[in-house]
Structure 1
Amino acid sequence: MSKAAAAQSTSSSLSRFWHKWRFHINILLLLVPLGFMPKYFADASLFRGDSGLGEREVGTVEIGPWSLQLAELRDEAPRPDGPAGYMKSFNAALCDACIEPVKAVYLRVGKPRSLRTAGVIFFGTPYRLGATVPIPLRTQEDADLWITLEGWDGSVHQASIPLKQASPATVAWLKQRGGK
Structure 2
Amino acid sequence: MEQRLPDFVLAGLYKNSLVITGDAISPANTLAKDSTSPVAQPLPAAPAVPPKQWYLGNNGKHIAIIVNDAGAVYLNDESLQFLSSILSACKLNLGDVAIINRHQEPVLFSFLKSHLQPVVLLAFDVNLQQLQLPFTIPHYQVQLYDQCQFLSAPSLQTMLGESKEAKLEKTKLWLSLKKIFQL
Classify the TM-score, shorter chain.
under 0.3
Q: Which has the higher helix share?
A: 1
TM-score by length of 2: 0.27
Q: Which has the higher strand share?
A: 1
